[in-house]
Amino acid sequence: MTTLAPQADAPHKLAELNPPKRLLFGPGPTQVHPRIYEVMSKPIVGHLDPFFFQVTTEIRDLLQPVFGTQNPFTIAISGTGSAGMEAAVSNFVESGSKVAVFANGYFADRISEMARRQDGHVVRFEKPWGEVYSDSEAVEFIRRERPQVVAYVTAETSTGAFQKGKAICDAAHEIDAVVIADCVTSLGAMPVEVDKTGIDVAYSCSQKGLSCPPGLSPITVSPRALSHLKSRKTVNHSWYLDLTLLADYYEGAHRYHHTAPITLFYALREALNLVAEEGLDQRLQRHYRNHKRLVKGLEEMRLRMHVPEQHRIWNLNTPLVPEGVNDANVRARLLKDQGIEIAGGFGPLAGKVFRIGIMGPLATEEKVDFFLQEFRKALAAEGYKPH
């Protein structure tokens, strides 16, 4: 005779999910446009459905002008910006490859670590976090080291500094090196200009300048870099991020590779559609104008910026924390009182800078003025008195 086990208590039903309302003035994720939330509610299709590949084709066509490229190989990888970084590194760094990294912030350090894990020989041009490289410094470093791969970060999220890349690319191409550029924070808010600069492999993310939910990493690869990829002597250690397999899925025979996050592709398509409707130049200028407006307001509070004016990222600003002020307390007060999220510094900049993002829907005069008003209050509550 079988004895039935006693039934377990009915599972506890969770309350309805009700996230707090936030104003995401941090480095990312950033504020999402209501139209993007709307398209995310649309029915999904299969990852091999012709409609899905129509969406990916439209994404490619919309991404190319934002990247400033005509590269046919322009896709969105299923994964965050770090997946784009690892795709770039794993496909172009082989065992023993010399990789020259312009190391002046956290994400250059991450590139270095990924290259080491591919058994690359990493050489680094070290500068303090927040400094950038002159053309002559870049050229001298590359000519001296003669690497197979060169990597730099266009807009370093950890510092607020923007690095120009034309001299880097020109010097790298002199010795037939492939240039990898991290465009995670710049894409959609600052000019990237892949083709004009000479970048071979550029990757980004969906949740910063494009103001989309996190989970996809746009990447573009030049025909020159694809030629290098075809001449690899070894198989990529990463199966999931192998660009030859991804090309066959997205652009070739549509051979099954992985189950793509369909809803996030809808979101990215709509985010790029918003860029196209506004006009790329107009969008970039809007970010620039409101960057200047924010900095002017910060300077009126007698706050100093970490990065010199000519090297600042437009959409990620790093004012110095005033002496005697606890940055964590200021950030906690903003979050508690107004639902405003900003970030602090980390690594050598821990406790020394605030990281304030103005991207997408928040890059407006009204939103910037509101932020400045509340930031002023939060600083005052912590005892800061501008002199």
What is the reported pLDDT for 297? 98
Q: What number of residues does the chain have? A: 387
Q: Cis omega (within 30 of 0) on the bond before 29?
A: yes
Query: 55 to each of 3, 45, 46, 58, how far by Cα in Å?
Result: 55, 11, 12, 5
Residue 305 gets which letter from DSSP? B
In single-letter form, the type of residue at position 319 comes to: P
Dihedral angle, C-alpha 242, 246, 251, 254, nearest 10 °: 130
What digits encode the pLDDT tens for the residues 128-158?
999 999 999 999 999 999 999 999 999 999 9
Q: Angle 316-319-321 (CA atoms, 0-180°, nearest 5)?
A: 135
Least confident interval from 32-36, 89-93, 233-237: 233-237
Q: Are 190 and 315 in contact (CB under 8 A)?
A: yes
Q: Are 361 and 143 in contact (CB under 8 A)?
A: no
Indicate the average pLDDT of the chain: 96
Judged against a pLDDT cut of 60, whether residue 6 lies above it is answered with no
What is the reported pLDDT for 4? 57
CB atoms within 10 A of CB 73: 20
| Per-residue pLDDT band at 386 (split at 50, 70, 90) | confident
DSSP H helices, 118-151, are 135-145
Cα–Cα distance for residue pair 183/70, rounded to 1 Å = 17
| Per-residue pLDDT band at 95 (split at 50, 70, 90) | very high
What is the reported pLDDT for 387? 73
Summarize the confidence of residues 59-75 as an average pLDDT: 98
| Per-residue pLDDT band at 8 (split at 50, 70, 90) | low
Q: Are 207 and 252 in contact (CB under 8 A)?
A: no
Q: Are 101 and 123 in contact (CB under 8 A)?
A: yes
What is the three-state SS of 7-67? CCCCCCCCCCCCCCCCEECCCCCCCCCHHHHHHHCCCCCCCCCHHHHHHHHHHHHHHHHHH
Type and span of the H or E element at 1 = none
Judged against a pLDDT cut of 80, whether residue 10 lies above it is answered with no
Cα–Cα distance for residue pair 104/227, rounded to 1 Å = 30
List domains and CATH numbers for the chain: 23-27+280-381 (3.90.1150.10), 34-276 (3.40.640.10)
Judged against a pLDDT cut of 90, whether residue 7 lies above it is answered with no
User: For residue 219, what are the β-bridge partners?
Assistant: 75, 203
> pTM, whole model, 2 decimals?
0.95
Nearest in space to 204 (alpha carbons), one of 190, 191, 177, 185: 185
What digits encode the pLDDT tens for the residues 307-340?
999 999 999 999 999 999 999 999 999 999 999 9
Summarize the confidence of residues 70-82 as an average pLDDT: 98
Summarize the confidence of residues 32-50 as an average pLDDT: 97
Sheet holding 73-78, edge to edge: 73-78, 216-221, 201-203, 178-182, 149-153, 98-103, 121-126
Place of tokens 């690892």: 86
What is the reported pLDDT for 252? 83
Q: Which residues contact 156 (CB under 8 A, 6 or more apart)?
A: 104, 105, 106, 107, 108, 129, 162, 163, 185, 313
Residue 80, token pair as written in the block: 């965050």
